[in-house]
Amino acid sequence: MQTLLDVILPVFLVIGFGYVAVWRKLFPVSGIDGVMRFTQSFAIPCLLFQAIARLDLKASFDPGLLGSFYTGATICFCLGILGARYFFKRDWEDCVAIGFCCLFSNSVLLGLPITERAYGPDALTGNFAITAFHSPFCYGLGISVMEIVRNRGQSPLVMLRATARAMFRNALVLAIGLGFAVNLSGLPVPQVLDDALSLIVRAALPAALFALGGVLYQYRPEGDGRTIAMVCGIALIVHPAIFWGMAKATSVPPDFFRSGVLTAAMAPGFNAYIFANLYGRAKRVAASSVLIATGASILTVWVWLMLLENL
């Protein structure tokens, strides 16, 4: 329990700084919008590019691990969409944004440190494999479905063009693609450029968390409690449970199995809000789900760790 607090409490403190700063009018709402734009359009794309460009893809690839994890993620994405539509009567665009919250687990900020503290740095190979494909898969799926929904009623060609246009205009997707291009080609990144990227990357997560705090002040969970509870349940319980069953059936190795369960059990990542903000849909649900599920994960991850001890 103390380990989880040591990992999660600093995250809450940075979010809290942003919340209090806006609440007490020490930082303007317009400033929060500017920080969000900086993280969404510059800092986080730099982080994704650098992380993917440096990954050892061959060492971390395991079909059973990735198949189980991303099948579970896709099922949770669909459950989130259908639940939001048929239980809470949300617009289809809102439903996709809510489904994305169920899809995108916090594999980096929470998944990596919790797995490392629980099993040591040598147990992170599976985490890195999931992380390598996490953003490309989730953004590719989320943007494709959102564009199809937004252009429903149009011809398939129009929908395809809209989806391609959205994908190739998205800074996050472009950064991911460039990262893979550099990784697979073996082209070295000039040291000066890499150092400059590192400076921006250091600001990415703290700035994003601070901005989330300011966003939470604007989008308090008024009237969305049941929707947020659904997101938390799917993200914290359903996804790791699906992975557990599929990974057992496909005989995923123990180290990869633990990495997959813990990564699937993480709360929605900040990218869930970035996606909602990108389309201006379900922003209150996304922001609150990140915060509430992160807090709830103190207990749920503790339970999953105990279950993993009995393997």
Report the pLDDT value the prediction gives residue 294, as an integer from 0 to 100.
Answer: 87
**Residue numbers in the chain where pLDDT is lower than 50:** none
Report the pLDDT value the prediction gives residue 109, as an integer from 0 to 100.
Answer: 72
CA distance 106 to 231: 14
Report the pLDDT value the prediction gives residue 240, as an integer from 0 to 100.
Answer: 97
Smallest CA-to-CA distance from 131 within 275, 266, 39, 242 is with 266
Report the pLDDT value the prediction gives residue 65, as an integer from 0 to 100.
Answer: 94
Distances (CA, A) of 12 to 16, 17, 262, 301: 6, 9, 20, 16
Are 207 and 44 contacting, i.e. CB atoms less than 8 angstroms apart? Answer: no
Domain count, the chain: 1
Report the pLDDT value the prediction gives residue 278, as an integer from 0 to 100.
Answer: 84
pTM of the model: 0.81
Q: How far apart are the first and last CA of the chain?
A: 20
Smallest CA-to-CA distance from 106 within 234, 271, 244, 241 is with 271
Report the pLDDT value the prediction gives residue 59, as an integer from 0 to 100.
Answer: 64
CA distance 181 to 191: 18
Report the pLDDT value the prediction gives residue 79, as an integer from 0 to 100.
Answer: 98
CATH of the domain at 192: 1.20.1530.20
Are 212 and 277 contacting, i.e. CB atoms less than 8 angstroms apart? Answer: no
| Length of the chain measured in residues | 311
Report the pLDDT value the prediction gives residue 231, as an integer from 0 to 100.
Answer: 97
CA angle in degrees (0–180, nearest 5) for 269-126-135: 35
**DSSP letters of the chain?**
-HHHHHHHHHHHHHHHHHHHHHHTTSS-HHHHHHHHHHIIIIIHHHHHHHHHHH--HHHH--HHHHHHHHHHHHHHHHHHHHHHHHTT---HHHHHHHHHHHH-B-IIIIIHHHHHHHH-GGG-HHHHHHHHHHHHHHHHHHHHHHHHHHTTTS-HHHHHHHHHHHHHH-HHHHHHHHHHHHHHHTPPPPHHHHHHHHHHHHHHHHHHHHHHHHHHHHS--SS-HHHHHHHHHIIIIIHHHHHHHHHHHTT--HHHHHHHHHHHTSPBPTHHHHHHHHHT-SHHHHHHHHHHHHHHHHHHHHHHHHHHHT-
Domain that holds residue 260: 2-309
Report the pLDDT value the prediction gives residue 230, as an integer from 0 to 100.
Answer: 97
Report the pLDDT value the prediction gives residue 15, as an integer from 0 to 100.
Answer: 84
